[in-house]
Amino acid sequence: MNWLKNFVRPKIRGFLGKKRDVPENMWIKDPVTGKMVFYKDVEANLWVMPESGYHMRMPVNARLDYMFDGAEYEELELPDVPADPLKFVDQKRYVDRLKASRNKTGRKDAMVAARGHVKGVETVICVQDFEFMGGSMGMAVGEAIITAARHAIGHKCPLVIFVASGGARMQEGILSLMQMPRTTIAVQELKEAGLPYIVVLTHPTTGGVTASYAMLGDVHLAEPGALIGFAGPRVIEQTIREKLPEGFQRAEYLLEHGMVDMVVPRSEQRDIIARLIRLFLGMPPLQAQAPEGPSPKDEGAGRDAETKTAASENSTSSETAGGDEAATTAPTDEIGAETGEAGSRT
């Protein structure tokens, strides 16, 4: 049945002209090991390579489904912005690039904002889509962050943002750079309202984004191996004409030098973000599930009962033995005392 569902049905739909449920390439190459991995296995593992742990880019919808309780959320309506304010043309017209990216991703621009619940706490989450013109920051991205921040303030809930960007969008010139102070003010308004702002830095996070909202969080998390910096390492090497240290600008390097607070694997991000949100809001922590089987207290009581039984048996045997009573009883009492202490400590 799985073979029919995963292979035969998509082929039939392709012949009928309907949208395919599987990509053209059903195998993904692991950049670390070079092995080919079935895309369903990568998808089931949150787009992390099972063997090497390499974090692939995670689709926007998949990340929102993973973060929100029951994959239930409501996307925020974002304001429209001028499509091509500068009438910019390089190798292609800017409007043509926008049209191509919108057809590819099915979205208006590179930032998506949604509201739902994370472990029972209402939360606004923004996700930057690198597939849309490299996640570049233009007027639409700035308006999306401002809208999300004000929506969070209105609903008194935290804001979490997953960043992935190559920097400011050059086709919008100074209008793109103006989003840096505008988003900074929006974040400041959120903090003045006493609401947490958590940033998750994914691969890559570079350019003007790192000079604005990506580095203003109350807590900065990073995915393993993510490239994080203003200018790229190749540009820096060419500028200073020196060889950079191993792992320079990677998440682990930034953690060692105090630029990020934690490097968190994708499978743990939901739990850690939920704990941080509850901590900042002064809410009690989530209760851990009780382990199956007897509790430590019950086990301690059981050991005490066994000790008492053994002591009574030893006492009876010592009375029968006569003169060996003191030698037999004293060690038994010491064992009982030690076991009782262990049971009380447990």
CB 276 within 8 A of CB 198: yes
Mean pLDDT of 97-111: 95
User: Exposed, middle or buried: residue 121 (CB in 10 Å: 0-12, 13-18, 19+)?
Assistant: middle
214 and 199 belong to one structural domain: yes
Do residues 338 and 204 share a domain?
Answer: no
Give domain status of residue 288, yes or no.
no
> Could you list the residue range(s) of the whole structural domain that residue 13 is in?
1-54
| C-alpha 3, offset from chain centre | 32
Asked if pLDDT for residue 298 goes beyond 50, the answer is no
Q: Of 157-166, 174-183, 239-248, 299-308, where does mean pLDDT reach its minimum?
A: 299-308
Residue bearing the bigger pLDDT, 212 or 10 = 212
Judge whether 128 lies within some domain: yes
Same domain, 209 and 304: no
Q: Which of 21-25, 35-39, 143-147, 201-205 has the lowest mean pLDDT?
A: 21-25
Does 23 map to a domain? yes
Q: Does one domain contain both 50 and 83? A: no
Does residue 316 surpass a pLDDT of 60?
no
Choose between 22 and 236: higher pLDDT: 236
> What is the structure's pLDDT at 334?
38
**Residue 157 counted as domain residue:** yes
pLDDT for 286: 84
Q: Quote the pLDDT of residue 232.
A: 87
Distance between CA atoms of residues 198 and 218, nearest Å:
6
What are the pLDDT digits (tens) for 160-199?
A: 999 999 999 999 999 999 999 999 999 999 999 999 999 9
H/E run at residue 114:
strand 111-118
For the record, the structure tokens of 243 come out as 């060889």
Q: Quick one: 203 and 308 in the same domain? A: no
Measured CA to CA, the distance from residue 215 to residue 186 in angstroms comes to 13
**Same domain as 274, residue 208:** yes
Instruction: Please state the rounded mean pLDDT for residues 90-107.
Output: 95
Reported confidence tier of residue 17, pLDDT bands at 50, 70, 90: low
Residues 267 and 334 in one domain: no
CA-CA distance, 253 to 258, in Å (whole number)? 9
The pLDDT-based confidence of 292 (bands split at 50, 70, 90) is very low
Give the distance between the most distant pair of CA atoms in the chain. Answer: 109
C-alpha atoms less than 13 angstroms from C-alpha of 289 in its C-beta half-sphere: 3
Residues 119 and 263 in one domain: yes
| Predicted confidence (pLDDT) at residue 306 exceeds the cutoff of 70 | no
Structural domain count, the chain: 3
Indicate the pLDDT class of residue 25, thresholds 50, 70 and 90.
confident
* pLDDT reading at 100 higher than 60: yes
The reply to whether 191 and 136 lie within a common domain is: yes
Average pLDDT over residues 228-235: 92
The residue among 238, 254, 280 that closes a domain is 280
- The whole-number pLDDT of residue 35 equals 93
The CATH number assigned to the domain holding 229 equals 3.90.226.10
Residue (of 50, 45, 49, 57) closest to 31 by Cα position: 49
Residues with Cβ within 8 Å of 33's Cβ and at least 6 positions away in sequence, in order, are: 49, 51, 52
Complete DSSP assignment for 272-325: HHHHHHHHHTTPPPPPPPPPSSS-HHHHHHHHHHHHHHHHHHHHHHHHHHSTTH
Task: Tell me, yes or no, whether 286 lies in a domain.
Answer: no
More confident residue, 247 or 295: 247
Given pLDDT bands bounded at 50, 70 and 90, which one contains residue 245?
very high
- Choice among 8-22, 28-42, 130-144 with the minimum mean pLDDT: 8-22
* CB proximity list for 138: less than 8 A, separation 6 or greater: 81, 109, 110, 168, 169, 171, 172, 175, 176, 179
- Structure tokens given for 114: 């949604």
Looking at the fold, whether 100 and 217 belong to one and the same domain comes out as: yes
Kindly indicate the confidence band of residue 11, based on its pLDDT and cuts at 50, 70 and 90. low
Reply yes or no: is the peptide bond before residue 31 cis, omega within 30 of 0: no
Answer whether 296's CB lies under 8 Å from 346's CB: yes
Query: Per the domain annotation, does 285 fall within a domain?
Result: no
* 16, pLDDT greater than 70: no
Looking at residue 346, its pLDDT comes to: 33
Q: What is the pLDDT of residues 317-341, one digit of tens each?
A: 444 444 443 333 333 343 343 334 3
Pair 267, 312 in one domain? no
Region of poorest pLDDT, from 14-23, 39-48, 68-77 = 14-23
Which pLDDT does position 288 carry in this prediction?
60
Residue 287 lies in a domain: no
Mean pLDDT of the chain: 84
| CA dist list (Å): 95 to 88, 92, 109, 112, 300 | 8, 8, 12, 20, 72
Rounded CA-CA distance 163/161 in Å is 6
3-state SS class at 263: strand
Q: CA neighbours within 13 Å on the CB side: how many for 109?
A: 24
Based on the fold, state whether residues 150 and 234 are members of the same structural domain: yes
Evaluate if residue 140 carries a pLDDT over 90: yes
φ, ψ for residue 70, nearest 5 deg: 65, 15
* pLDDT recorded at residue 302: 45
> Does residue 77 fall inside a structural domain?
yes
Out of 227, 255, 280, pick the residue that ends a domain. Answer: 280
Q: Residue 160 — φ and ψ, nearest 5°?
A: -120, 135
Determine how β-strand 27-29 pairs with β-strand 36-38: antiparallel
Taking the CA atoms of 238, 211, 203 and 97 in sequence, report the sign of the dihedral they define: negative
